[in-house]
Amino acid sequence: MNSLPARDQLRQRVEYTYKFNAKTGRHGWLRLTPAYSLKIVEELVIGQANAQRVLDPFCGTGTTALCAAYHDHEGVTTDINPFLVWLAQAKAAHYSPTSIETTRGACTQALTLVADRAIEPVSAPPIFNIERWWSAEALEFLCLLRAAIEHVTQPDTEIRNLLLVAFCRTLIEQSNAAFNHQSMSFKGEDNQALLFPIDRGAAFEADVQFVLSGAAENPAGSASVILADSRGLRKALSGPFDLVITSPPYANRMSYIRELRPYMYWLGFLQNGRDAGELDWTAIGGTWGIATSRLTDWERPEKHFKSAHLTDALQAIAHSENKNGVLLAKYVAKYFDDMWAHFCELPELLASGAELHYIVGNSTFYGTLVSTERLYAEMLSELGFSQVECRPIRKRNSKKALIEFDVVARWK
Ligand SMILES: C[S@@+](CC[C@H](N)C(=O)[O-])C[C@H]1O[C@@H](n2cnc3c(N)ncnc32)[C@H](O)[C@@H]1O
């Protein structure tokens, strides 16, 4: 049984954004940036001091672009998820001492409105089974706080963004969600954290302080964060880039929309489950909600990347004993078609000699190993990249042969 005070338990569950933790050295947040990946990205960026422009086509929480900016490069990053683009933009912004002081004042004003109940709360977001996420008391506090933040700030301002980043931290800290697996689950009813009373206002204030202490440390370089599909990068960006460091979605059926839904609903990036599924369908590797039925109807186009390893794997998955084998074979086929469409965008955007690092893990489906790293390597070689290598980084799972690789290549 865990005997830590609630506050510490909550802290254990919260993960921090890169920008906002520069002082403490703690990292990770939203489960998209595990500790090891920040370390790897940092080593790669430091090792490439001459690279001026660094691209990450799969931004997530913005680790690569932020890391590049803190090491005085120009970071450019894209993502298809508007919430992550907003978050990474908020992390990448340069904040003046005046903005930081004004945010501190706005926090005090907002908390006064909440304490006095002098504001009409917003409606609770339409999250399915919301009562599993937050106690009635927590929900009431969050609805009041959300309304108060809107009341004391103007739309699309740094002040509102900083308070909303802190609000994201608070809403997850005060939830019943647990992050001890790859994806979110709910705490058991016997969890000790539920037994300790929480001063909710003080918790938000602490989150604002935490966010502001990081916001005060502006990166030396710049980072731009762009809403774009990595399969259509040439429309959104202009090169040349000297270095690409990224962690693309894995072929593992993890849905970033599913993982991020509490933040996305509270901040208004999602209105209903259908939108969530639609957005997941546009994301590479998404299979949540409507995305699954879309996949059922999806037919592989005649023109796709040809690989004997992929063909063998797809056949083995489709013919496995499992009733979902055919669907999962489609999932894997679509994943690699999408990644091929993405890789085809790169040559026009890269400087001669540009180095690529794709941090990715392999997968298994009903006992069939899908060597994602090998398929990436095949695709990059086919496009004319040289020095293509798959460097193992770490084991992902002690029982299975699941390994993470850095797939490295050089453009001409
Ligand atoms: C593994 S995460 C990136 C994690 C990131 N390295 C970080 O530090 O947080 C993969 C990201 O790819 C994004 N993504 C999925 N499909 C995409 C697409 N077609 N275009 C751009 N981004 C996409 C997802 O939204 C997700 O944020």
3-state secondary structure 278-308: HHHHHCCCCCCCHHHHHHHHCCCCCCCCCCH
From first to last of its 412 residues, what are the pLDDT tens digits of the chain?
A: 333 332 332 222 233 333 333 333 333 334 344 555 777 888 899 899 899 999 999 999 888 998 898 888 999 999 999 999 999 999 889 999 999 999 999 999 999 999 999 999 999 999 999 998 899 999 999 999 999 999 999 999 999 999 999 999 899 888 887 554 445 556 654 444 455 567 999 999 998 998 888 888 888 899 999 999 999 999 999 999 999 999 999 998 888 888 888 999 999 999 998 899 899 999 999 887 787 888 999 999 988 999 999 999 999 999 998 888 999 999 999 999 999 999 999 999 999 999 999 999 999 999 999 999 999 999 999 999 999 999 999 887 665 678 999 999 999 8
Among protein residues, the one with the nearest Cα to ligand 1's atom 22 is 79
Q: How far is the CA of 198 from the centre of ligand 1 (A)?
A: 34
Place of tokens 């309304």: 147
Q: How far is the CA of 136 from the centre of ligand 1 (A)?
A: 33
Regarding the beta carbon of 231 and ligand 1, being less than 6 Å apart is answered yes
Regarding the beta carbon of 280 and ligand 1, being less than 6 Å apart is answered no
Residue 145's nearest CA partner among 101, 87, 205, 78 is: 205
Q: How far is the CA of 371 from the centre of ligand 1 (A)?
A: 20
Q: How far is the CA of 77 from the centre of ligand 1 (A)?
A: 10
Regarding the beta carbon of 175 and ligand 1, being less than 6 Å apart is answered no
3-state SS track over the chain: CCCCCHHHHHHHHCCCCCHHHCCCCCCCCCCCCCHHHHHHHHHHHHCCCCCCEEEECCCCCCHHHHHHHHCCCEEEEEECCHHHHHHHHHHHCCCCHHHHHHHHHHHHHHHHHHHHCCCCCCCCCCCCCHHHHCCHHHHHHHHHHHHHHHHHCCCCCHHHHHHHHHHHHHHHHCCCEECCCCCCEECCCCCHHHHCCCCHHHHHHHHHHHHHHHHCCCCCCEEEEEECCHHHHHHHCCCCEEEEEECCCCCCCCCHHHHHHHHHHHCCCCCCHHHHHHHHHHCCCCCCCHHHHHHHHCCCCCCCCCCHHHHHHHHHHHCCCCCCHHHHHHHHHHHHHHHHHHHHHCHHHEEEEEEEEEEEECEEECCEEECHHHHHHHHHHHCCEEEEEEEEEEECCCCCCCEEEEEEEEEC
Q: How far is the CA of 240 from the centre of ligand 1 (A)?
A: 21
Q: 147: Cβ–Cβ under 8 A, 6 or more apart, which residues?
A: 113, 119, 120, 121, 122
Q: Which atom of ligand 1 is nearest to the CA of 257?
A: 25
Regarding the beta carbon of 80 and ligand 1, being less than 6 Å apart is answered yes
Regarding the beta carbon of 83 and ligand 1, being less than 6 Å apart is answered no
Q: In this structure, are residues 364 and 400 in contact, taking their beta carbons and an 8 Å threshold?
A: yes
Q: Which pLDDT score is estimated for 195?
A: 53
Among protein residues, the one with the nearest Cα to ligand 1's atom 2 is 60
Among protein residues, the one with the nearest Cα to ligand 1's atom 7 is 60
Burial class for 284, CB neighbours closer than 10 Å (0-12, 13-18, 19+): buried
Residues shown for the chain: 412
Q: How far is the CA of 316 from the centre of ligand 1 (A)?
A: 28
C-alpha span between 87 and 225 (Å, rounded): 9
Among protein residues, the one with the nearest Cα to ligand 1's atom 17 is 283
Place of tokens 């009733």: 323
Tell me the pairing of strands 222-227 and 74-79: parallel
Q: How far is the CA of 342 from the centre of ligand 1 (A)?
A: 12
CA 113 distance to own-chain centroid: 32
Q: Which atom of ligand 1 is nearest to the CA of 38?
A: 8
Among protein residues, the one with the nearest Cα to ligand 1's atom 13 is 58
Tell me the pairing of strands 241-246 and 350-361: parallel
Q: 159: Cβ–Cβ under 8 A, 6 or more apart, which residues?
A: 99, 102, 103, 106, 153
C-alpha span between 378 and 111 (Å, rounded): 56
Q: What is the pTM of this model?
A: 0.90
Q: How far is the CA of 341 from the centre of ligand 1 (A)?
A: 15
C-alpha span between 344 and 237 (Å, rounded): 14
What is the side-by-side strand order in the sheet with 222-227? 222-227, 74-79, 53-56, 241-246, 350-361, 403-411, 385-395
Q: How far is the CA of 79 from the centre of ligand 1 (A)?
A: 6
Record the tokens describing residue 245, joined without a space.
């460091």
Q: End-to-end distance of the chain based on CA atoms, in angstroms?
A: 57
